[in-house]
Structure 1
Amino acid sequence: MDKEVIIEKINNFLIDEFEVESEDISPEANLKDTLDLDSLDFVDLVVSVESNFGIKLVGEDFVDIVLLEDFYNLIENKLK
């Protein structure tokens, strides 16, 4: 799966499942601040990733994740 498809899937479930406004989504967006995701949203995010990509994430995976671009890269690396 190439990165463009990964980005499109992530953006779609952020809009559909987390009600993030499409104009707020950019690689530079801060997951916690700009996208207003709290700790419960991160649990839902893990579930969404598992259902959309078939991979499991754990808390340690999010240690260095600040920007949406970091999240895209995390998913891309886990899929390799």
Structure 2
Amino acid sequence: MDKNELYSKIKEVLVNDFDIDEALITPEASIEEDLELDSIDSVEMIVKIKPFLNSKIEPAAFKSVKTVQDVVDILEPLTK
């Protein structure tokens, strides 16, 4: 899965499972400020994306995540 496909999956999860307006979801969107997701929501988002990954997610990798693009960049290598 390439970054564009992964971005689409993340966007789909955010719209369908978190009722976030699709117009708010951009690569630059802040997870906390723009999308108003707290740490528990972020964990739930990762759980919903996990079926698309081929490797285990390391929780420590998400300490630096701030934007939707950060999520894509961290998860994309795990789809291979």
- TM bin, normalised by shorter chain, reads 0.7 to 0.9
Percent of pairs identical after alignment? 29
2:61 pairs with 1:76: no
> Deviation of residue 19 (structure 1)?
0.9
C-alpha contact 1:3 1:76 (8 A) present in aligned 2: yes
| Residue matched to 2:26 | 26
Gaps of at least 5 residues in structure 2 are none
> What is the CA-CA distance between 1:12 and the residue it aligns to?
0.5
8 Å Cα contact 1:27/1:68 also seen in 2: yes
Task: Give 2:59's aligned residue.
Answer: 59
Query: CA, structure 1 residues 56+19, in 2 after alignment: closer, same or farther (shift >3 Å)?
Result: farther
- Give the structure-2-normalised TM-score: 0.86
**Could you tell me whether the CA contact under 8 Å between 2:52 and 2:79 is conserved in 1?**
no
1:8 matched residue in structure 2 = 8
Distance 1:52 1:45, change over 3 A: same
Per-residue deviation at 1:4? 1.3
Distance apart, 1:54 and its partner CA: 4.8
Q: Distance in 2 between matches of 1:58 and 1:2?
A: 20
- How many residues align? The count is 80
Q: Secondary structure at 1:63's aligned position in 2?
A: helix
Amino acid at match of 1:24: L
Name the residue aligned to 2:39. Answer: 39
